[in-house]
Structure 1
Amino acid sequence: MEISPFLFPNQEDYPSPNFFSFFQDFDFPATTDTSVAAAAAPIAAEPLPKKRRVDDFDFDLEQVVEQGSLKSVEDILNKFLGFDKEEDKTELKLDWSSQEQFTNQSAFNFSNQQSGLIMNEINEKVKPMAGTNNKRSRQNSAEFISTSEEEYQPQQQRRLWVKDRSKAWWEQCNSPDFPEEEFKKAFRMSRATFDMICEELESVVTKKDTMLRQAIPVRQRVAVCIWRLATGEPLREVSKRFGLGISTCHKLVLEVCTAIKGVLMPKFVQWPNDDYKMNEIKHEFQMLSGMPNVGGSIYTTHVPIIAPKVSVAAYFNKRHTERNQKTSYSVTVQGVVDPKGVFTDVCIGWPGSMSDDKVLEKSALYQRANRGQLKDTWVVGNSGYPLMDWVLAPYTRQNLTWTQHAFNEKVGEIQKVAKEAFMRMKARWSCLRKRTEVKLQDLPVVLGACCVLHNICEMRGEQLNPELRFDLFDDEMVPENIVRSMNAVQTRDQIAHQLLHQNHAGTNFL
């Protein structure tokens, strides 16, 4: 900090006891000039004059120089500002060597306006020092005596402290030399499929770098989400694998799942509205079972969850609790698949206490059928679904005929397609088999992302590792009103007789 070369006021300008007491603690240098001491005695004896204005800064410089007190004022200034070292004094030291410099009054001919600005600046900085017991005053005085280097030092760029975590595992997986089989084992898909997903989501998932840190790359963001869905490991394990914070991993999973649901679901989960696709599906189902006009196989599975804080009874799964002897809570996932096991319609998130027919009534598929969009198309379900004009369900009464047994056998073959599709989805994405840490309101987004990723893997021919296969079992609760259309009863009997007479009915039930 630099100070302009102005003169410090002497005792003659402020002949008051307060002025002397303010400087009495300083050690005034001894002087042989008796004129100074002689001049000080009359001042103390005289009565106090009227207080002068601050900007009356017009004392005689030549008189100060002649009295030899200028050196004393310099020492007072140094002690007052707290500079003891020689290098600190040099910043404020005036050029006292030349006598001609002080005799030339034009060099120090300040105007009243300039003197007033200088004294105001001094008063603002010196005034806080008067209160010795004030903490703020001490802080301001410390700021006043700061050096020029501290005041004019350029502001450094802020740095954010980030915990150093190892990213070795992810860097190894992201390397082109990483084995394809190991990559598929970790992410349940090939590297080519993973790259395709990253390209599709890049415009939505990409974040910009900030002044505090660099953004996480798109590939790492997508990898965090897919690995979490594939393994079902807790977030602390995800954090260790990818070298990110636990909260960051949780946020990335939700962000990528939301992007998958918003960007990829409209592309990869579509109901076949055009006649060409629907006729192709009907033809494949007929080749499989002999049943005509079958447009899809419907199935409902349950995903376990932690007991929610609200509506606990609604999510309580009585059937799973009785079978496993363990209190279970779940949400439902209803899906319609084509002959290849690809989802064409999904309904996610209804409480686990609801039966399959109740979930069907809440779905968009049910509303679509009521509008007549499923005309001449059958959706085949198990015994948990009612028989309707567009839903074909098996016979549930006892003492069935040979024709009825044969029909139920063909229904079971179509149902196997949907059940196998759900088994592969849960096998690929193990998070669906564990009680997830995701909040209930965010769970439909995660489950929808799993359905989309399942379709991508099925469409691209990604084979499931045989070690991941398991037996999927979901309780089938027969609805109270099993028959809801008499026309459907007659149509079902006709289909059963056609299967028997066309030699499509097997004898596995015998």
Structure 2
Amino acid sequence: MPKKKRDSPSPSKKRSIANILTSLAALEDQDASERRQADAASLHDLSLLQSNHQSRLHATLDYFDRVDDHFEDAEQSETLRTKRSRLAASAAATVVADGAASAAQPQHHQRRLWVKDRSTAWWDRCNHPDFPEAEFRRAFRMSRATFDMICDELGSAVAKEDTMLRAAIPVRQRVAVCIWRLATGEPLRLVSKRFGLGISTCHKLVLEVCSAIKTVLMPKFLQWPDEQSCSSMKSRFEEISRIPNVVGSMYTTHIPIIAPKISVAAYYNRRHTERNQKTSYSITVQGVVDPDGVFTDVCIGWPGSMPDDQVLEKSALYQRALSGMLRNVWVVGSSGYPLMDWVLVPYTHQNLTWTQHAFNEKIGEVQKVAKEAFARLKGRWTCLQKRTEVKLQDLPVVLGACCVLHNICEIRKEEMEPELKFELVDDEMVPENSLRSVTSMQARDNIAHNLLHYGLAGTNFF
């Protein structure tokens, strides 16, 4: 079968096809143009990002370079300052050494450490030669001559050398701090203000000077008498009481303390607590004095709960008696002590005879010497009247120094101001075993008999 011949497109269709193709080509060109523009914009943005990154990187690197330069300069500057300080210190040392070598009189180095500015006006005024003697005695409980003697004795023991950084505190000021503190009992903060020194410095000075007093002055001014001195004491005590062979008067007092952290019950003082209606703690001071009230033996530091007879048994005096050094002599004590071969005490039982009354009266005159000595001790050194800031382990040294200073004042006849008089109150307890020797009982009876029947006793007991 023959095929049909296809018809050719009409002119209008050709034009439509041409227009479509033209539109497609235009659309492709427009799309290509837009892609080219987008690509160009992306390249521009990328360039901006890279440029910003580079600028920030350069800025960061520049900052770290400046910081590194700053610290390097600081290290160099600190090194330079250190070198300059060392050079300055070396130069100052050379200048001071040259000045000390060439000066006609010794001079103190200037202080080079920073210290708090404190006034020493009060002490400078007291230390001046024109300071009134009466005021000096009232302040330090002794004359200027006695104070100077103590400073001379302690000079080598308490003196310190100047250093490159500061001048040492003079010996006179060191001794004055200690004596003022013992005399007034003022708190360390007030002592610090008076002397222009730190509180810890004042505390250290007090302990150092007290230790020096115990080491240097106690062997000279507080010792048991030798045979010649004992003979003199016997005569003088016999003049007072008509009792022969007495070499000392003994007494025990209590020093108030702050409640210790250990062994509190041992230091509890029941008698003082009951009398004062206030809990009291104390340590004991047992002392033997000569007819002038000068201590010849002391026993310091036993707890306040111990009665007098137990304190006596713990003392070096008791050991001296056991070794036979107190044969044929008497140490007179109060009713708180037991009667022994060397300890003479009053009669304590009831319904005493006239002979026993006479004996008690005379032995009381001897006992009065010791009691008045302790009253002057506490009156002169006020720190003994109240609880102190000194630690318990350091207190025996301080109390020993007070006893030595008391002896120095008594030996040099230093008068006490009337307002310093102290009323001594110590409750005496009769020991459970108050009679420890039959021979001593007979000896006491013989002494009492002689006092009355040979007209040696007074009549005040009637």
TM-score, scaled relative to structure 2:
0.80
Report the equivalent of 1:292: 244
Report the equivalent of 2:119: 166
How many pairs are equivalent? 384
Report the equivalent of 1:316: 268
RCO (CA 8 Å, sep 6+): is it higher in 1 or 2?
Answer: 2
The residue correspondences of 1:235-274 to structure 2 (distance < 5 A) are 235-273=188-226
Deviation, structure 1 residue 506: 1.7
Report the equivalent of 2:92: none
Distance in 1 between residues matched to 2:217 and 2:141, nearest whole Å:
18
- SS of corresponding position for 1:334: strand
How much is the aligned-residue C-alpha RMSD, in angstroms? 2.3
Deviations along 1:252-295, one digit per CA (max 9) or x if unpaired, are: 0000000000100010001012x211000000000110000001
Q: Mark the CA change 1:388 to 1:140 in structure 2 (over 3 Å): closer, same or farther.
A: same
The residue correspondences of 1:46-445 to structure 2 (distance < 5 A) are 132=64, 141-143=72-74, 146=77, 153=84, 155=86, 156-157=88-89, 159-273=112-226, 275-445=227-397
Amino acid at match of 1:509: F
Report the equivalent of 2:30: none
Distance in 1 between residues matched to 2:138 and 2:401, nearest whole Å:
19
Distance in 1 between residues matched to 2:279 and 2:361, nearest whole Å:
34
Percent identity (aligned): 71
Distance in 1 between residues matched to 2:166 and 2:62, nearest whole Å:
46
Deviation, structure 1 residue 343: 0.2
1:457 corresponds to 2:385: no
- SS of corresponding position for 2:84: coil
Q: Mark the CA change 1:485 to 1:220 in structure 2 (over 3 Å): closer, same or farther.
A: same
Q: Mark the CA change 1:283 to 1:138 in structure 2 (over 3 Å): closer, same or farther.
A: farther
Q: Mind listing any 5+ residue stretches in structure 1 that lack a counterpart?
A: 1-20, 27-128
Q: Mark the CA change 1:154 to 1:312 in structure 2 (over 3 Å): closer, same or farther.
A: closer
Amino acid at match of 2:72: S
Structure 2 contact 253–285 (Cα < 8 Å) conserved: yes
Q: Mark the CA change 1:482 to 1:211 in structure 2 (over 3 Å): closer, same or farther.
A: same
After TM superposition, what 4+ stretches of structure 1 lie above 4 angstroms from structure 2?
A: 129-135, 137-140, 143-152
Distance in 2 between residues matched to 1:351 and 1:335, nearest whole Å:
15
Deviations along 1:208-246, one digit per CA (max 9) or x if unpaired, are: 111111100000000000000000010011011100010
Deviation, structure 1 residue 344: 0.2
Deviation, structure 1 residue 146: 4.5
Distance in 1 between residues matched to 2:65 and 2:266, nearest whole Å:
66
Deviation, structure 1 residue 130: 11
Deviations along 1:438-494, one digit per CA (max 9) or x if unpaired, are: 000000000000000000000001011111112211100100000000000000000
- SS of corresponding position for 1:153: helix
Amino acid at match of 1:321: T
Distance in 1 between residues matched to 2:75 and 2:341, nearest whole Å:
89
- SS of corresponding position for 1:375: coil
Distance in 1 between residues matched to 2:75 and 2:273, nearest whole Å:
74
Deviation, structure 1 residue 148: 10
Q: Mark the CA change 1:279 to 1:164 in structure 2 (over 3 Å): closer, same or farther.
A: same
Amino acid at match of 1:454: H
Report the equivalent of 1:36: none
Report the equivalent of 2:43: none
Amino acid at match of 2:318: Y
| Structure of larger gyration radius | 2
Distance in 1 between residues matched to 2:184 and 2:82, nearest whole Å:
56
Distance in 1 between residues matched to 2:441 and 2:127, nearest whole Å:
57
Deviation, structure 1 residue 144: 6.2
- SS of corresponding position for 1:451: helix
Q: Mark the CA change 1:147 to 1:411 in structure 2 (over 3 Å): closer, same or farther.
A: closer
Amino acid at match of 2:148: D
Compare the two structures and name the one with the higher helix fraction: 2
Deviation, structure 1 residue 147: 10
Distance in 2 between residues matched to 1:144 and 1:163, nearest whole Å:
32
Q: Mark the CA change 1:395 to 1:141 in structure 2 (over 3 Å): closer, same or farther.
A: same
Structure 2 contact 321–342 (Cα < 8 Å) conserved: yes
